[in-house]
Chains A and B, each alone.
Chain A
């Protein structure tokens, strides 16, 4: 069974401080990992996915297969980063069955 764990329900950081949102996964095969973000009153949207290795809005995430982690990082938090963040996993080769974590609310304090 595939599982995604986001241990923090709420993460509060000051503006300009580094951010790390944790995501750990459990999957027997080779997974595809994603980060989705939901800003207040907006739809859930893709932030980044590990296969593209992009940096979006200053966020990066590296898939660590040894530690089965896909932590989301940003060196300097901005107020507009305040949102709900979800880590998600699907089997390699397709969405098929998708498993989301429980989400972490990021609060950036001015």
Chain B
């Protein structure tokens, strides 16, 4: 089944403990992106990647890192999580950065204590 998967789906952690949220797609999509969803703020783009080894900042990149070493994977790294990074995170992919439909993952609910 063509899809975007994220792991873990739920995570509770403590301030300062490095964590990685994985994102994988099996559709051979070039474009991948991370968003965070917060009440009243909608979805805000954190980072996006146009292709392997090509990444760029979205609107709220502070406190996050990404890498795109393989086409199918786009992990989100929080080197030193803080409580203001408590949020619902979505990964998405699209065939290319050319007005194609974005396919979203199921979301990862992160709580930083």
User: Nearest Cβ in chain B — how far from A33, in angstroms?
Assistant: 10
Given known contacts A32-B99, A51-B99, is B42 in contact with A95 (CB within 8 Å)?
Answer: no
B50 closest partner in A (C-beta): A96
B33 closest partner in A (C-beta): A98
A12-54 vs B, Cβ < 8 Å mask (1 yes, 0 no): 0000000000000000000010001000000111100101000
Q: Is the CB of B97 within 8 A of A96?
A: yes
User: Nearest Cβ in chain B — how far from A81, in angstroms?
Assistant: 19
Q: Provide the residues of chain A in CB contact with B40, threshold 8 Å.
A: 9, 102
Q: Is the CB of B100 within 8 A of A95?
A: yes
B21 within 8 A of partner (CB): no
Chain B interface residue number, banded: 20 to 34
Q: Provide the residues of chain B in CB contact with A46, threshold 8 Å.
A: 101-102
- Distance of A100 Cα from B106 Cα, bound (Å): 18
A97 touches which of B42, B58, B102 (Cβ 8 Å): B58
Q: Provide the residues of chain A in CB contact with B90, threshold 8 Å.
A: 44
Q: Is the CB of B45 within 8 A of A45?
A: no
A49 closest partner in B (C-beta): B99
Chain A interface residue number, banded: 20 to 34
Q: Is the CB of B104 within 8 A of A95?
A: no
User: Nearest Cβ in chain A — how far from B65, in angstroms?
Assistant: 18
A70 within 8 A of partner (CB): no
Q: Is the CB of B99 within 8 A of A101?
A: no
Q: Is the CB of B104 within 8 A of A45?
A: yes
- Distance of A109 Cα from B96 Cα, bound (Å): 39
Q: Provide the residues of chain B in CB contact with A92, threshold 8 Å.
A: 99
Interface on B for A, CB 8 Å cutoff?
Answer: 31, 33, 35, 40-45, 48, 50, 56, 58-59, 90, 92, 94, 96-107
Interface on A for B, CB 8 Å cutoff?
Answer: 6, 9, 32, 36, 43-46, 49, 51, 86, 88, 90, 92-103
Q: Considering the complex of A and B, which 7 residue pairs feature the smallest CB-CB distances, nearest first?
A: A94-B97, A102-B42, A100-B43, A44-B104, A46-B101, A95-B97, A43-B104
